[in-house]
């Protein structure tokens, strides 16, 4: 294969993987667009109380705690089953949501679907690392994410428009939409299962053999890798801040800004999705060429400004509803600009700047999701407490300030890593080898 670097087209031998990955991602995005309206369905059609909106985030955090173990359990096993089985369970939860009118059960099933989606993340990260060259992962995932943004947006807006057109028949429209989401999800997972994962070596050991080993391996990684330990700590702060307010954006749109299904969807998902469609591919290519901390500090700055702008909208609404919507729209433009980059780094590629090549990729990503689980569990609960104790503006101000602190700490890490040319990019890190880089000198669990 001819040598190719960042900015060049994806080599032909990787195109079959890219096409199947794209089909899976687009179908998944179409399903997610429908499911994104689940909080509005619960608030409007099922008359759910505002505090129950935290259920989805809180329940999904359980899956992230499990992933600390599962990331190690899957490390030396074929990764595809760890994507397919949870994906089919996610599809099943959609069908379950379609069959209930109980708002608590509805939101619980939504949370369970997100739980199993999270379980698949370490396997997905490992598959992407195995099947794309280091110099093109950001570009490939960024391109896919960009098209997913517009697909998600179209699905989300169509779902909301149909719900607005048929308010008296929501008892039929909502189950039909959720059943369609389940079918789309299942078909996408089956399409992804046709990808041949490169370089996998299957082991025959039982999953129940050595139950404590994955946890010991995670502990060893945390002890030996100072760089990754700081990445986890700052990432926990960032995710916690974001989770404080994330569950309450639909509440702000529907109750404080008095928006319809369609306008609420535009604010919550539509505007960020449109902007992300245009920005994510560019950001993905930039991520291939720069240090991840450089990317993170700008991403986290934008993520923190979004809730601070939203916090101002209830007061503005009292004297100028159009101005309140304009400020809310500006906030969502800022969010959309950085949204795709956050997804690429946190859910797909960021651990590649720390994990040695091979089975450790799943272990490292499992640790990322584990700390994200704490954020998803505690962040919404803190947000609900602030909401009950005061006003919704306080929820957004608190979350925004915590995220901005993580941006400041990301700048500090960037200054630290600029002193070592081996850490200039993720591709440079892989080319040098993780074991050659500072603060990562101990052997990985698989090398001991």
Q: What is the pLDDT of residue 448?
A: 32
Q: What is the pLDDT of residue 204?
A: 47
Using alpha carbons, select from 409, 410, 402, 350 the residue that is nearest to residue 379.
Answer: 402
Q: What is the pLDDT of residue 220?
A: 86
Q: Domains in the chain, please, with CATH?
A: 13-197+212-447 (1.20.1250.20)
Q: What is the pLDDT of residue 345?
A: 92
Q: What is the pLDDT of residue 51?
A: 64
Q: What is the pLDDT of residue 50?
A: 66
Using alpha carbons, select from 300, 306, 311 the residue that is nearest to residue 332.
Answer: 306
| pTM of this structure | 0.75
Residue position matching structure tokens 């969010």: 335
Q: What is the pLDDT of residue 441?
A: 40
Written as six digits, the tokens of 377 are 């569990």
Q: What is the DSSP letter of 428?
A: H
Query: Read out DSSP for 391-427?
Result: -HHHHHHHHHHHHHHHHHHHHHHHHHHTT-GGGSSHH
pLDDT digits (tens, 9 = 90+) for 251-304: 888 888 888 778 888 888 889 988 988 888 889 889 988 999 999 999 999 999
Q: Compute the distance between CA of residue 105 and CA of residue 184 in angstroms, rounded to an integer.
A: 22
Over the chain (448 residues), the average pLDDT of each successive run of 10 is 57 88 95 88 72 72 74 76 92 93 87 86 85 85 87 88 74 89 96 84 51 74 89 96 91 84 83 88 88 95 97 92 94 94 89 82 85 86 88 94 97 91 83 56 37
Q: What is the pLDDT of residue 117?
A: 86
Q: Compute the distance between CA of residue 272 and CA of residue 33 in angstroms, rounded to an integer.
A: 13
Q: What is the pLDDT of residue 172?
A: 81
Q: Compute the distance between CA of residue 18 and CA of residue 10 in angstroms, rounded to an integer.
A: 9
């Amino acid at each position: 294969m001819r040598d190719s670097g960042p900015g060049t087209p994806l080599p032909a031998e990787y195109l079959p993987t890219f096409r199947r990955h794209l089909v899976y991602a687009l179908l998944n995005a179409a399903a997610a667009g429908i499911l994104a309206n689940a909080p509005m369905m619960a608030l409007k059609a099922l008359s759910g109380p505002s505090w129950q909106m935290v259920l989805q985030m809180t329940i999904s955090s359980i899956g992230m705690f499990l992933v600390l173990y599962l990331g190690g359990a899957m490390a030396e096993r074929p990764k595809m089953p760890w994507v397919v089985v949870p994906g089919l369970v996610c599809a099943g939860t959609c069908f379950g949501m379609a069959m209930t009118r109980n708002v608590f059960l509805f939101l619980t099933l939504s949370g369970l679907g997100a739980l199993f989606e999270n379980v698949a993340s370490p396997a997905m990260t490992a598959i992407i690392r195995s099947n794309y060259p280091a110099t093109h992962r950001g570009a490939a995932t960024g391109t896919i994410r960009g098209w997913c943004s517009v697909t998600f947006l179209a699905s989300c807006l169509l779902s909301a428009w149909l719900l607005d057109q048929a308010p008296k028949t929501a008892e039929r429209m909502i189950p039909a939409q959720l059943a369609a989401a389940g079918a789309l999800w299942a078909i996408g997972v089956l399409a992804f299962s046709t990808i041949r994962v490169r370089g996998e070596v299957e082991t025959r050991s039982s999953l129940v053999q050595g139950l404590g080993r994955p946890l010991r391996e995670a502990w060893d990684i945390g002890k030996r890798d100072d760089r990754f330990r700081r990445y986890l700590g700052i990432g926990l702060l960032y995710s916690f801040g974001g989770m404080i307010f994330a569950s309450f954006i639909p509440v702000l749109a529907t109750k404080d800004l008095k928006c319809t299904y369609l306008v609420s969807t535009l604010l919550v998902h539509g505007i960020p999705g449109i902007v992300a469609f245009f920005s994510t591919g560019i950001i993905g290519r930039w991520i291939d060429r720069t240090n991840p901390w450089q990317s993170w500090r700008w991403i986290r700055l934008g993520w923190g400004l979004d809730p601070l702008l939203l916090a101002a909208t209830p007061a503005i609404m009292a004297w100028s509803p159009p101005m309140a919507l304009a400020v809310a729209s500006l906030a969502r433009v800022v969010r959309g600009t950085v949204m795709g980059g956050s997804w690429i780094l946190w859910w797909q590629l960021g651990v590649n700047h720390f994990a040695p090549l091979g089975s450790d990729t799943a272990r490292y990503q499992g640790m990322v999701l584990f700390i994200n689980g704490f954020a998803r569990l505690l962040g919404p609960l803190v947000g609900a407490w602030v909401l009950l104790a005061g006003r919704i503006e306080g929820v957004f101000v608190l979350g925004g300030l915590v995220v901005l602190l993580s941006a400041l700490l990301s700048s500090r890490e960037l200054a630290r890593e600029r002193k070592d040319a081996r850490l200039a990019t993720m591709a440079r890190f892989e080319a040098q080898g993780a074991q050659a880089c500072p603060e990562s000198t101990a052997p990985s669990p698989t090398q001991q």
